[in-house]
């Protein structure tokens, strides 16, 4: 998929249109374009890990599989920054730019089909990005969409006997150009913690491991305001390691 198409698709996915009958003409036009893209393209990027998944399933590695599903923050969390015990097989299935809608679309292929012992869900960063209007104005829609998708993935995993670990959404920098709202990530993370508690899921609170007192991601942990550096990943690993042991 071309980068321009991906950018347009991300915008359409983030619209989260739930009441099509009352949608503005421009939104209806975007939805029609989205349907055309869905018909001809790999929206969830299922092809990204198709060959790797085949290789994994054909391997003789009998270690328990832990699938990590997420976006670019997970994608860049490379093996050298994930010092997992040798007895575990950590499988990174992060795809840059993805939101929780796309994660849900590929959940069967990149998680269930691999028969893992555990799935770690780290999504939401790209759900937070608002392409049109003020980010704070989209708070309710963003939280509703992300929580709906996370619930669906957790339900599928639970039905398949796969243990679920939830990660809070990491913080982001204070630069308005990042097009994200602090109140939205706080609300979404409050929901993640409450949902995990209700279902007795372990939580890797990556937000708390990285956020400064104001709730933002400090530049010394992520120069671009989104993606952690080595020290940031070390802090995140401590939280994930504890969750994996629970």
Measured between its terminal Cα atoms, the distance across the chain in Å is 39
Same domain for 180 and 69: yes
Same domain for 138 and 17: no
Same domain for 135 and 82: yes
**Does the CA dihedral 216-217-219-220 come out positive or negative?**
positive
CATH code for the domain of 205:
3.40.50.1110
Same domain for 188 and 102: yes
Same domain for 238 and 189: yes
User: Do residues 102 and 126 lie in contact, with contact meaning Cβ atoms separated by under 8 Å?
Assistant: no
Domain span at residue 33 reads 1-43
DSSP string, the chain: --HHHHHHHHHHHHH----GGG--HHHHHHHHHHHHHHHHS-TT-GGGSHHHHHHHHHS---SPEEEEEESHHHHT--GGG----TTSEEEEEE-TT--HHHHHHTHHHHTGGG--SEEEEE--TTTS--SSS-GGGGHHHHHHHHHHHHHHHHHHHHHTT-EEEEEPPPP--S-GGG---HHHHHHHHHHHHHHHHHHT--EE-HHHHH--TTSS--TTT-TTSSS--HHHHHHHHHHHHHHHH-
Tell me what pLDDT residue 8 has: 47
pLDDT in tens, 65-88: 999 999 999 999 998 888 888 899
Same domain for 145 and 236: yes
Same domain for 12 and 122: no
How many domains, the chain? 2
Same domain for 237 and 155: yes
Same domain for 36 and 53: no
Same domain for 174 and 223: yes
Same domain for 226 and 159: yes
Tell me what pLDDT residue 3 has: 42
Q: How many angstroms separate the CA atoms of 155 and 153, rounded?
A: 5
Regions in the chain scoring below 70 on pLDDT: 1-24, 27-28, 30-41
Same domain for 104 and 144: yes
Tell me what pLDDT residue 40 has: 57
Say what the pTM is: 0.85
């Amino acid at each position: 998929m071309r980068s321009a198409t991906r950018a347009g698709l991300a915008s359409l996915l983030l619209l989260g249109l739930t009441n099509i009958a009352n949608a503005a003409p421009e939104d209806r036009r975007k939805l029609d374009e989205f349907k055309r893209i869905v018909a001809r393209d790999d929206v969830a990027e299922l092809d990204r890990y198709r060959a790797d998944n085949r290789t994994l399933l054909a391997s003789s590695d009998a270690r328990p599989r832990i699938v990590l599903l997420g976006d670019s923050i997970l994608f860049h969390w490379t093996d050298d920054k994930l010092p997992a015990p040798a007895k575990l097989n950590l499988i990174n299935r992060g795809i840059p730019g993805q939101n929780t809608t796309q994660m849900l679309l590929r959940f069967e292929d990149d998680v269930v089909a691999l028969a893992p012992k555990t799935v770690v869900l780290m999504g939401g960063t790209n759900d937070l990005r608002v392409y049109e209007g003020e980010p704070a104005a989209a708070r309710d829609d963003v939280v509703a969409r992300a929580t709906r998708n996370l619930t669906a993935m957790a339900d599928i995993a639970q039905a398949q006997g796969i243990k679920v670990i939830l990660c809070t959404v990491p913080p982001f920098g204070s630069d308005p150009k990042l097009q994200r709202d602090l109140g939205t990530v706080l609300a979404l993370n409050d929901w993640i913690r409450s949902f995990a508690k209700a279902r007795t899921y372990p939580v890797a609170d990556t937000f708390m491991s990285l956020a400064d007192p104001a709730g933002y991601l400090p530049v010394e942990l992520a120069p671009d305001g989104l993606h952690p550096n080595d020290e940031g990943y070390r802090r995140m690993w401590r939280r994930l390691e504890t969750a994996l042991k629970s």
